[in-house]
C-alpha cells in the first residue's frame, strides 16, 4: 500500500514532494492528504460518539411539560385514567414500542387510577401532528383532565415515569 | 421479522468498509459499499446478512426478539442514496466526493453498530407519513 511506504520512507523523499494524488488533493503530498483523512475520520467518529452518548442519555427520559395541550377522552377515543393516563404512540413496525408497552402496562397495573392507552401513529395522524410526535415510541403523560404534563421519547424508564407522575401529584 | 443482530453486524461491516474508503479515497471501496446497499435494499440478497447468518449466528444462538424488516431495509435505501450520491460525484470528478459520501455513511453506520441507533429506521416513520415508503 502506497501510504505505508511513504510513511515508513519519510515524507521528504524527493519523489513525493509536490506530487498530487488523482483525487484532486491540490498541492497536498500523499502524507498530508492521509493526515487529513485520518483527522476527518477521527472527527466524524468523535461527532458520532457525541450524538450516540447524547441520545442514550435523553432516550426514555420523561420531561415535565408546562402549559401543555389537552387530549381529552373524546379525542383519544378511550377513557382517561382517574388520576393519570399514559398515552403511548406506537407503530406496528417499531420494536422498542413493544418494550415500551411492557413498561407502561406494568406501571399502569401497579398504580391505581393510572390508565395506559396505546395509539397507532399510522391510524391517528391527527394526534401525531397535533402533538408533534416525531418518533415511536413517544409517551404523553396526561393529568385527570387530559392535560399533557409530561413527555418522553424512546422506551421510558420506569423510575422516570413514576417521577413524572409524582410531579403531576400522582403517586 | 428478522434477527435484530443481523443489521447491527451489517452496520459494523459497513463502518469498516466506509472507514477504509475514507482513509484511502478509493472510489472502488465506495462503489463496493454502494453495491451492497443496493443489493440489500432491492433484492433478497443481503451480502452482510449472509455473512452474519453463516458465520456469527450459529455461534450466537437464537435472538431474544425479532424485529420488523421494513425500517432496516429503508435504512439501506438511505445509505444507498447518500453513498450513491458520493459515488456519482466522484465519477464526475468532484474532489473529495468519495470522502464526503463515505464520511456521512460512516457516521450513520457507526451510530448503528456502536449504539444501536438506526437513523434510517427513525426516518422510516416520517417516510411512511409522507408516503415516501410503504
pLDDT tens-digit map of A117-147: 999 998 898 999 899 898 999 999 998 999 9
Instruction: Please give the interface size between A and B, counted as residue pairs whose CB atoms are below 8 Å apart.
Output: 77
* 3-state DSSP helix/strand/coil % of chain A, to nearest 5: 45, 15, 40
Q: For residue A153, what are the CA distances in angstroms to A41, A48, A126, A157, B79?
A: 30, 20, 18, 10, 24
Does the distance separating the beta carbons of B95 and A38 come in below 8 Å? no
Does the distance separating the beta carbons of B71 and A44 come in below 8 Å? no
Three cell numbers written together for A82: 382517574
- The pLDDT tens digits for B46-73 are 999 999 999 999 999 899 989 999 999 9
**Which pLDDT score is estimated for B134?**
65
* pTM given for the model: 0.83
Poorest-pLDDT segment among A13-22, A26-35, A122-131: A13-22
Does the distance separating the beta carbons of B71 and A94 come in below 8 Å? yes
Average pLDDT of chain A?
83
Sort residue A55 into left (φ over 0), alpha (ψ -120 to 50) or beta.
alpha
Question: With bands split at pLDDT 50, 70 and 90, how would you rate the model's confidence at B91?
Answer: very high
Q: Which residue of B has its CA nearest to A134?
A: B126
Q: Which residue has the higher pLDDT, A10 or B44?
A: B44
Residue B66 and residue B59 in contact, taking contact as beta carbons nearer than 8 Å: no
Does the distance separating the beta carbons of A33 and B68 come in below 8 Å? no
Q: For residue B91, what are the CA distances in angstroms to A5, A26, B30, B88?
A: 27, 18, 11, 5
Residues from chain B that touch A37, judged by Cβ atoms under 8 A, are 22-25, 99
Amino acid at each position: 500500500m502506497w501510504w505505508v511506504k511513504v510513511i515508513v520512507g519519510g515524507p521528504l523523499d524527493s519523489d513525493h514532494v509536490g506530487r498530487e494524488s488523482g483525487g484532486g488533493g491540490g498541492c497536498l503530498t500523499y502524507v498530508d492528504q492521509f493526515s487529513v483523512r485520518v483527522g476527518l475520520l477521527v472527527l466524524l467518529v468523535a461527532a458520532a460518539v457525541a450524538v450516540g452518548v447524547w441520545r442514550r442519555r435523553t432516550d426514555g427520559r420523561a420531561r415535565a411539560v408546562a402549559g401543555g395541550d389537552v387530549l381529552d377522552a373524546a379525542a383519544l377515543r378511550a377513557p382517561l385514567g382517574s388520576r393519570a393516563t399514559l398515552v403511548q404512540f406506537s407503530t406496528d413496525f417499531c420494536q422498542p414500542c413493544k418494550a415500551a408497552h411492557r413498561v407502561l402496562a406494568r406501571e399502569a397495573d401497579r398504580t391505581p387510577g393510572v390508565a395506559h392507552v396505546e395509539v397507532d401513529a399510522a391510524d391517528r395522524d391527527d394526534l401525531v401532528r397535533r402533538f408533534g410526535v416525531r418518533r415511536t415510541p413517544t409517551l404523553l403523560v396526561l393529568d385527570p383532565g387530559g392535560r399533557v404534563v409530561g413527555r418522553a421519547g424512546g422506551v421510558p424508564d420506569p423510575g422516570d415515569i413514576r417521577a413524572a407522575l409524582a410531579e403531576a401529584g400522582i403517586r | 421479522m428478522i434477527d435484530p443482530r443481523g443489521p447491527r453486524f451489517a452496520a459494523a461491516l459497513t463502518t469498516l468498509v466506509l472507514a477504509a474508503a475514507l482513509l484511502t479515497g478509493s472510489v472502488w471501496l465506495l462503489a463496493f459499499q454502494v453495491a451492497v446497499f443496493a443489493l440489500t435494499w432491492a433484492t433478497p440478497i443481503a451480502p452482510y446478512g449472509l455473512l452474519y447468518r453463516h458465520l456469527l449466528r450459529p455461534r450466537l444462538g437464537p435472538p431474544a426478539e425479532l424485529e420488523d424488516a421494513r425500517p432496516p431495509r429503508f435504512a439501506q435505501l438511505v445509505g444507498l442514496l447518500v453513498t450513491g450520491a458520493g459515488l456519482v460525484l466522484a465519477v464526475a470528478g468532484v474532489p473529495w466526493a468519495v470522502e464526503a459520501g463515505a464520511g456521512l455513511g460512516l457516521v450513520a453506520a457507526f451510530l448503528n453498530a456502536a449504539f444501536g441507533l438506526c437513523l434510517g429506521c427513525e426516518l422510516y416513520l416520517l417516510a411512511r407519513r409522507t408516503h415516501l415508503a410503504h
